[in-house]
Amino acid sequence: MPVTIIIGSQWGDEGKGKIVDLLSQDADVVARYQGGANAGHTIVCNGRRTVLHLIPSGIFNPDCICLLGSGMVIDPVQLMDEIAMLQDIGITIKGRLFIGHRAHLVMPYHKLLDNLNERNRGDKAIGVTGKGIGPAYTDKYTRIGIRIADLFNRKTFRDKLEANIIAKNRIIHELHNEPKLDLDEIYDYYVKFDEKIDPMVKDISVYLNEAIDAGKNIICEGAQGTLLDVDWGTYPFVTSSNPTSGGALTGLGIGPTRIDKVLGLIKAYSTRVGEGPFPTEFHDDMDVLMRDAGDEFGATTGRARRCGWFDAVIARYSARINGVSKWALTKLDVLSEFDELKICTSYEYNGKRLKDFPVDLEVLTKVQPVYEEIIGWRQDISGIRNFNELPIAAKDYIKRIEQLTGTQVELISVGGERNQTIKV
């Protein structure tokens, strides 16, 4: 059985929640490999809308095991709230959700510092979610982070926590003039958290490799998107981890020879939340029209997403970086609202044609997209389940994306519900 990595190929918000929920109906394990509560995966089932920030979307399949990988940073408050929310709607968690013991914890000072740092950036703000993700990964890479495994030994945990709080209080109180954090209060909360999750903690690498050897069907679920990757995204307007396919290997403790497929998710148009360059962004009424048609508001922050035309330069880049096997094209139905569509095929900068995605932020900010115009189909396609029944113009649009990216589309989403999907 296959091991499939599912990645976002743009700036996130490509519909990973829905596609993972759909594919997990035939999966044995779904494992989230990076990020934290800054993700927002929306699942719509029988008219009920659920947003998950930490727990994999496979949780809605009662036969599926869900894993939180060691590449994640886990906020205990968000995790317990999410577990309670799922239990309230009848989802079984016991024996189905497990947490990697090497995963790092988001602490109260991470969230506080995240917001203070963003506030101090002023007009150079990055557009963070304020969930403490960046500071948590900072502590991880400066080797002062606190992991799930550190909770096992109370003395080790308290010693590490005390050293962190002393250092963080200097910044919080002396630099930002905010109240100091209380060691005992935080220590007691995390000890109680440890007692609640103790049966869920596992060596995720051992578990996954044994599942692969047993022939299980496994989905590795990423958060955010390729253009938000800390190494390959539009730095510094990125997240603090690796949403790209390579992050699945390090975040879950599995080797590259274990992977059978990388499914890249691309939206039929482009969106971005927060600051940073966006070559095909609308700067007219189309921004509002596309946002309203696609309900483009962030699942985590509620912020309005910036909208633009499909960017084949970005899609080609993402296919190369991730080794994308096939595309899942999402929100194609949204484009039914428009008579004429555009696809960006390349960029122009200083009179030169650029077919590859530039690394220089100044260049990326100033490039002019080169568009192809395509006739729209002006027909409701949300009820279509057979590729052959799609309007000719819609099939032409899909074919052109395949030609420009060199990668075939195998799945098309035409609505928010799980069953509003077309297999090609």
What φ, ψ does residue 9 adopt, rounded to 5°? -105, 0
SS3 78: helix
Which amino acid does the sequence have at 306? R
Q: Catalytic: 101?
A: no
385-397: string of b/e by CB count within 10 Å (b at 16+)?
eeeeebbebbeeb
Reading the block at residue 109, the tokens are: 């000072």
SS3 355: coil
Catalytic residue, candidates 21, 41, 110, 194: 41
Cα separation of 11 and 20, whole Å? 17
CA torsion angle 77 83 88 92 (round to 10): -170
Supply the DSSP symbol for 175: I
Length in residues, the chain: 424
209 CB-contact burial (10 Å; exposed 0-12 / middle 13-18 / buried 19+): middle
User: How far apart, in Å, do the first and last CA atoms of the chain sit?
Assistant: 21
- Whether residue 66 contacts residue 59, with contact meaning beta carbons closer than 8 Å, is answered with yes
Q: Which residues have C-beta within 8 Å of that of residue 321, sequence separation ≥ 6?
A: 226, 229, 232, 244, 245
pLDDT in tens, the chain (424 residues): 599 999 999 999 999 888 998 999 999 999 999 999 987 788 776 677 888 999 998 999 999 999 999 999 999 999 999 999 999 999 999 999 999 999 999 999 999 888 888 777 766 666 677 789 999 999 999 999 999 999 999 999 999 999 999 999 999 988 888 899 999 999 999 999 999 999 999 999 999 999 999 999 999 999 999 999 999 999 999 999 999 999 999 999 999 999 999 999 999 999 998 889 999 999 988 999 999 999 898 766 778 999 999 999 999 999 999 999 999 999 999 999 999 999 999 999 999 999 899 999 999 999 999 999 999 999 999 999 999 999 999 999 999 999 999 999 999 999 988 889 999 9
Q: Catalytic: 13?
A: yes
- Whether residue 31 contacts residue 210, with contact meaning beta carbons closer than 8 Å, is answered with no
Residue with tokens 């995963």: 103
